[in-house]
Chains A and B, each alone.
Chain A
Amino acid sequence: MRLATAAVALALALALPAAAAPPALGAAADALAAEIGPPAEGRRALALAVETRAPSLARPLEAALERALAGAGYTVTPVRGAADAEGAAREAGQDWLVRVQGGLVPGRRELALVGEVIPTWPSFFLQRRPGARAIPPRLVSSRAPADAEALVLAREGRPSGAPFAAVRPLGRVEGRVLALAIGDAGGGSAAIAAALPGAVVLLSPAGAPLARFDVDPSARGAVRDPAATIAVGDFGAGRVAVAWAGGAPEVLALRAGALERAGALAAAPLCAGEKGAVFGAYAPGTGVLADALARAPGTVPPRRSARLLYGVAAAPRGGPVSFAALGTDLRLELLGPELQPAELAPSTSSSTAPVLPSVGTGFALADLDGDGVAEIVASAPTAAPPDRVRVLAARPGAAPLLESGPVEGAILAGAGGDLTGDGLDDAVLAAIVRGPGGVATELLLVTSDPREAP
């Protein structure tokens, strides 16, 4: 009976750490251990030194590696804070030092580990050179998709004194970008979709062109100020939906690296996030939208008011502010997942949506700081140059979280989504600039990823 109880306890003790290990950390550690391989020539004593950019990642990663290396047959001794880890390992009589550095891959939601496998046993033939390595060291590495736990642990803190978010150029698109969206367009990872008057272009998170779909703008009804809406999400036949003012909404699909027309929609796709898409319609003859929003692409409901809308944005991950509608009066209405008035505090509910009174027309929702409530990333609410990037909390009356320096051009479109791969939302804004070669669009990345901090 005792034996059985002890066996169960031992089994539980062995099972518990494995169950508690974040899957991404465990997978990366297992892969690295497999790369290192089983102990050679019975040399099992292994010192493990782990370094990470994010301090909170170091201990859990060390534990995961210790478990994985133990499973491979090593006796693992962690080495922490030693200035000379290799010397410490030699002094302690270890056979190996495995020095591992880990962190998130920039621009991707991946955890990467790089290890140096350094022999530390004394060599009979190198007695006169005590520091010499018996055999050459080798490098090993592994990667695993970063899950939520890994993202939490690997996220670096914002440097002291750093602004709420950084703004930097991401790329340049020839022509005027009318609308932006971010999401998985069918390639398996995040991409930026941009609607121009005569094309839809798909860009990588770094701003590099991936695919392009050209259309004939003259086939549409004339609109004085060209406008478009674009969304990336599940639209049945494809994952990119676009509607130009004066034209019919359509669905595009990414097939074999090329964008193709895949279907049509009855209503204009205005935006999409984890909470789904929002559909609407242009006010006749204009580039702005009627105040009639729907969650499905069927018939658009009657107008809520005579108000006109510049656009509607979706928070990539939903939350209490899942959508926001910007009127031509520059008032931004904050909406919940079912387009109801957003409830900004758990106990509050109202029949009228909270409103931010003065928001520029190039805007996006993005939870930059990961607190679960999207911020508003927007242009300046003025027609006079220069333009600026502003980050606003989703609270009426709150001071701006960020106001950038002057930005060249006019910011007239935006979208939110994770482009840096840190697991938190970023935003991209489209600044229209005029140069000798004509109109172009500078894409600006707005992110609170500490790796992008100035």
Chain B
Amino acid sequence: MSRLDRVRTLAAALALAPGLALAGVRPAPGGSVTLALPAEARIADPALAQDAADLVLARATSAPLLERDAGGRLVPGVLAEVPTSEDGGRTWRLRVRDGLVTAAGAPLGAAEVAAAVARLLSRAPASPHAWAALALLGADGVLAGRAAAPEGLRVVSARELVLTLALPLPELPDLLAALPLAVAGAGPFVLPSAPARGAPWVLRANPAAPGGRPFLDALALQVVDARAAARLLARGKVELVLRPERAGDAAGPALPPLRATVAALGPGLGPRAAAVRAALASVDRAALARRFARGAAVPLSTLVPPALLAVAAVPASAPNAPGASAPGRLRILVRGDAADPRAIADRLQVTLFDRGITAAVDAVDRERFAARLAAGDYELALVEVQVLAARPALAAAQIATAVRGPAAGRRALGALAGLDGAPAAAAAERLARELDLVPLVATAPRASAAPALQGIAVGPEGLLDPGALWLLGGEAHAP
């Protein structure tokens, strides 16, 4: 199955989900929708957002360089056309649409797009999405502080920029559709001002959005717990719930499981590494997905979520390696606010104990987790990464960068660039062994929607396009 077929299949599967406008009613503008989330959104900048709620906010307020149509095909966004490379994937000329402005009215041209790309390599604040700019020629120099800007990023006119890559990357058009490269403040919605802590974010329609004004007049993001979500949905107080569990009986489209949890063996393990590796290899990942992860979950056989591979899954557990058992103690580093990694860590404690290893869970806050991961200050870490790209090479690069840093990300790009299906799965499996990573599960939130809410379009990147939401009948009035 080709990549295009896979994307189409995914789109077709999503299109069959309830709530999508496929019959005889066109979308109508107007109305407001409240989206219930399990956690508060804090970051609207797509270069910095990585938690689920932040990604929803960033997607709503940022304009992707390329969008996807209902069939999953790339279509113009901020860019006027889907670029093609003339030299096998190293050089790409990007043309920005004419006449674009941000929600604040500032011109949006090639310089602004270049800035959106360059800030992914910025050291302060450091972006968690440097993976999306790693392929640029000179990106490593910027990340290491040797250069101010990558030499592979060149603005040639008010509307044109040229990307020169360090390696051929046929996946670049798909990368351009990824959220981290989106232009902040130019999305379908605009945030008038940040709300008080705990108050819902109320976003207003941006009439100047590159893809056109969104259908809704306003979109509110509200933190709601599971019980309240079901109740509010039933009462019509919220129209869409994105949570690991379904909210009551309300149906919604299935989202692709793209939130990957991988185990990283740390340098502190020393001689116990082989035993831990063997123990992790014996973990029944299907059982992990079924019993310990919240939301819709699938076992993760390689660094690439199966939704992006469309090949038969590699066996989710491996036989025990003979003679790999070695008594010892270790600590499992997890983020304290990451529910799935914590539940998986608890299960791994049991598995490791069966192999003679006593494990303790070390749950720390977000900042401390990031710092210790970057410093290699852990024995075993469970890292959760929301994959934001639709191609295997990009997904592997994102996970590798998140866990092992930019060099690993570049290695992933080099190993998987241009690969799809079974060859990509095999390369991703090799890469995981080389990086000493053990993929465990991939999860997705469940969407529960009010019957009147339409246009719940989820791209292969797994993110909902808030600009496509609309209300069926009765709610719409003149904007």
Contact = CB atoms under 8 A, between A and B. Distances in A.
Interface of A: 218, 221-225, 227, 246, 283-288, 290-291, 303, 306-308, 310, 328-330, 360-362, 378-388, 409-412, 434, 436, 438-439
Interface in B446-479: 454, 467-468, 472-474, 476-479
A410 B23 contact: yes
A285 B25 contact: no
Contact of B478 (A224, A283, A380): A283
B212 A224 contact: yes
Given A285-B213, A384-B23, 12 more contacts: A218-B76, A224-B212, A286-B29, A288-B26, A308-B28, A308-B29, A328-B473, A329-B474, A379-B24, A380-B23, A411-B23, A434-B70
B138 interface: no
Contact of A223 (B70, B212, B474): B212
A118 to B, nearest CB: 55
A386 B80 CA distance: 34
Contacts of B473: 328-330, 381
Interface stretch (B14-22, B369-377, B391-399): B14-22
A384 B22 contact: yes
Count chain A CB atoms within 10 A of each CB in B15, B25, B210 and give the residue with the most.
Answer: B25
Interface residues of B, number: 40
A225 B80 contact: no
B71 interface: yes
B71 A439 contact: yes
Contacts of A288: 26, 28-29, 476
A225 to B, nearest CB: 5
A197 B283 CA distance: 53
Contacts of B478: 283, 290-291, 303, 306-308
B29 A383 contact: no
Contacts of B27: 224-225, 287
A285 B212 contact: yes
A410 B22 contact: yes
Contact of B26 (A227, A291, A382, A438): A227
A409 B25 CA distance: 11
B205 to A, nearest CB: 9
Nearest to A363: B24
A222 B25 contact: no
A380 B23 CA distance: 7
A380 B24 contact: yes
Contacts of B71: 434, 438-439
A382 B25 contact: yes
Given A328-B473, A434-B70, A386 B28 contact: no
Contacts of A409: 22
B46 interface: no
Return the 8 tightest CB-CB contacts between A and B, nearest first.
A379-B24, A360-B24, A328-B28, A224-B212, A285-B213, A222-B212, A387-B23, A328-B476
A246 B76 CA distance: 17
B207 A224 contact: no
B207 A383 contact: no
B431 to A, nearest CB: 33
Contact of B24 (A246, A284, A382): A382
Contacts of A438: 71, 73
A222 B476 contact: no
B80 A218 contact: yes
A387 B22 CA distance: 8
Nearest to B71: A434
Given A224-B213, A285-B212, A303-B478, A308 B25 contact: no
Contacts of A410: 21-24
A131 B8 CA distance: 71
